[in-house]
Amino acid sequence: MERTPPSPKWGELEKATLKDLKTKFQKPIVGGVYEIEFELLKGQRTETLILLPLAYADMTRWLDKEVRQIKNWAIAHKQLTEMRNYSKIPLVTRKRMLDVWINLSANYFDYVFKPIDKEERTPCEAYIYSGGNQGMYHYVTVNNVVVHGSKLNNMLWSIFGHYWGWNDSMLKMGAMWNELQVDRRLDNPTSQKAISLGTEIYLRLEAGNLNYITDVLTEDELRNLQDPNYLWEEKLWPSPYPADLSKSTFIRPRLPTKKGW
């Protein structure tokens, strides 16, 4: 865990007094672990730690690369699925393809996101709120904003789905139906927003005008993925450190090509 003494760069520390032994650390700029040492009287020192827990490292660079590689992956997967589910009766093939899509969407399309920076400066995982299927998703940093990995997964699923031939409305309806089946509730607005962002990225990729992923994933748009009703982004600080690919874990989902594999 990183220990950085406060300075004007990191925050402000009010002058402590012996009368009330109180001080205030205010206007912090960067999260992490701060070690503050006080000299109460000459030769008498004490110290305290302040924890501003970070999300996992910034994975913006990896995300930009991944969205550009989904097209070939999705098209190849769809072609293989069509081959393995082919029937001389077109409607049978179509029905089998739909069954595979529903199955992979509901049960298999789960990335693993665990971005770690080079010096591993993110505070210990006791302060990282993880969730999702089997703990695959963690709170990560994208373009200076804390986001839950499940939202990025929804966005990537949306891009993948577009290359399968589904449009934005179909994808949103599918996500809504799945949520009703699993949790008996409507799909969360932040999940629907993630699908919309996936659609915008897809359209920009196809038009050839996505310079960098932050053209779409602006700080404001990413904050629209935060959901205080269910998730905990507001309890974490964005990590200022980029993910080190040699230490990080980014794994694509392994997808079926038949309804029962």
pLDDT for the residue 27: 79
**Domain annotation covers residue 165:** yes
Q: Are residues 79 and 139 both part of a single domain? A: yes
Q: Are residues 141 and 21 both part of a single domain? A: no
> pLDDT tens digits for 123-139?
665 556 554 444 467 89
**Domain annotation covers residue 4:** no
Average pLDDT of the chain?
86
Q: Among candidates 250, 257, 227, which has minimal Cα distance to 67?
A: 250
Q: Are residues 244 and 117 both part of a single domain? A: yes
> pLDDT tens digits for 242-258?
999 999 999 999 999 99
**Domain annotation covers residue 145:** yes
Query: pTM of the prediction?
Result: 0.86
> pLDDT tens digits for 117-126?
998 887 665 5
pLDDT for the residue 50: 81
Q: Are residues 43 and 88 both part of a single domain? A: no
Spatial separation of the C-alpha atoms in residues 73 and 71, rounded to whole Å: 5
Domain of residue 140 covers 60-251
> Is 145's pLDDT higher than 80?
yes
pLDDT for the residue 45: 77
**Domain annotation covers residue 47:** yes
**Domain annotation covers residue 258:** no
Q: Are residues 109 and 199 both part of a single domain? A: yes
Total length of the chain: 261
Widest CA span in the chain? 90
> Is 183's pLDDT higher than 80?
no
pLDDT for the residue 47: 80
Q: Are residues 42 and 88 both part of a single domain? A: no
Q: Return the higher-pLDDT residue of 68 and 30.
A: 68
Q: Are residues 179 and 89 both part of a single domain? A: yes
- pLDDT-derived band at 31 (thresholds 50, 70, 90) equals confident
**Domain annotation covers residue 1:** no
Q: Are residues 99 and 155 both part of a single domain? A: yes
- pLDDT-derived band at 24 (thresholds 50, 70, 90) equals confident
pLDDT mean over 210-221: 98
Q: Extract the tokens encoding 259.
A: 């309804």
Number of domains within the chain: 2
Spatial separation of the C-alpha atoms in residues 225 and 221, rounded to whole Å: 7
E strand or H helix that includes residue 135: none
**Domain annotation covers residue 5:** no
Q: Extract the tokens encoding 41.
A: 């009287």
**Domain annotation covers residue 139:** yes
Contact 32, 4 (CB under 8 A): yes
Q: Are residues 31 and 152 both part of a single domain? A: no
